[in-house]
Structure 1
Amino acid sequence: MSAASRADAVATRLAEWIAPVVEAAGYDLEELVVTPAGRRSVVRVVVDRDSGVTLDDIAEVSHAVSAALDANDGDFGAAPYVLEVTSPGVDRPLTEPRHWRRNTGRLVAVGIGPADGVEQVIARVTTVDDDGVTLAVEATGKPGAKKRPPTQRQVPWQELGSGRVQVEFGRPGPGTDTQADPADDEDDEDDGEGQ
């Protein structure tokens, strides 16, 4: 048995103990990976939930998972391990409806369409329901051209590929005016001089 298949077998056994503990605490077990690292193993547990995950949440889940591993220590073996509990990173692919729901409002790159004709788009996730995802698809254009407004597009689950969240810097908040009027600045300066 190779080291990789041995690690997979251990991960499967650990998932039986860890998944109920994580779910009882109110989280989803997104990933469980066991990686051999010399004489020890690294047990990486990725958790998430709709309201997000804080550092306090990570500590809570870490204590609960550690207790479950300690309770099954004889079954797990005497080999030392390092437990890492974390939340998914921004680079995690969006593959499940809950992933899409948790990223409503975010900009994503996604393939849309049947397997033989997938169209790659950049879009903002606007709504998620039982039928699929509504996306505000960004219009493509030439650099420097006037930007056209996004097109709303309802995409059924069977036509939605896995998405990736796009990192945005300086994204305006709701209700923020993104186009400053230079005349406003001039009026402010003029008002101050006349008094």
Structure 2
Amino acid sequence: MSTVVETVTDLVTPILEAENFELVEVEFVKEGKNWFLRVFIDKAEGIDLEDCALVSERLSDALDAMNPDPIPQAYFLEVSSPGAERPLKKESDYEKALGAYIHVSFYQSVDGEKQYEGFLQSFDDEQLVLKIRIKTREKEMTFDRKNIAHARLAVQF
């Protein structure tokens, strides 16, 4: 499946660059009996329905023009915004999220927990520092980045 993701990434990148959009993520997944090709895009002002339709049409045309077909099975193409809980994957995602409230889940538990939410204070190649709230007290915690399974922006309640 990674070849589908790589092929779609290569095809969609120039389409997005021409419109000053950012590629957030491409995923090709099977849910039940159906396959889904999902392309998440963003831009500074946010993505609207017209932006999604434009990218969907251009990407669909580019995929249809390829011979042999890079995706032989039937699938649904979905182009959308990453939403309020955008994943943090690239270094630039973390840079933009400095000071923001994020959710982090881990491969191995840290102090008995597999996930934390807090404000991203700093990060480097090896560690990430969050300011978390435990009951009424705030505390900074440092986490090894290699132990992070997923990180995303979070909505604070």
1:129-156: CA deviation from partner (whole Å, max 9, x where unpaired): 4454332122x13xxxxx33x3344544
Residues 38-187 of structure 1 mapped to structure 2, 5 A cutoff: 42-49=35-42, 51=44, 53-55=46-48, 56-72=50-66, 75-76=69-70, 81-90=75-84, 94=88, 96-111=90-105, 115=108, 118-119=110-111, 120=113, 121-138=116-133, 140-141=134-135, 147-148=136-137, 150-169=138-157
Secondary structure (helix, strand or coil) at the match of 1:21 reads helix
Unaligned stretches of 5+ residues in structure 2: none
Question: Distance between the aligned counterparts of 1:76 and 1:156, measured in 2?
Answer: 37
How many positions carry a matched residue from both structures?
Answer: 148
Deviation at 1:54, TM superposition (A): 0.4
Question: Distance between the aligned counterparts of 1:164 and 1:125, measured in 2?
Answer: 11
Distance 1:125 1:160, change over 3 A: same
Q: CA RMSD in A?
A: 3.8
Secondary structure (helix, strand or coil) at the match of 1:31 reads strand
Deviation at 1:78, TM superposition (A): 8.2
By relative contact order (CA 8 Å, sep 6+), the higher-ranking structure is: 2
Secondary structure (helix, strand or coil) at the match of 2:52 reads helix
Amino acid at match of 1:122: E
Counterpart of 1:18? 8
Question: What is the aligned-residue identity percentage?
Answer: 24
Q: Which has the larger radius of gyration?
A: 1
Deviation at 1:52, TM superposition (A): 7.0
Higher helix share: 1
Secondary structure (helix, strand or coil) at the match of 1:124 reads strand
Unaligned stretches of 5+ residues in structure 1: 1-7, 142-146, 170-195
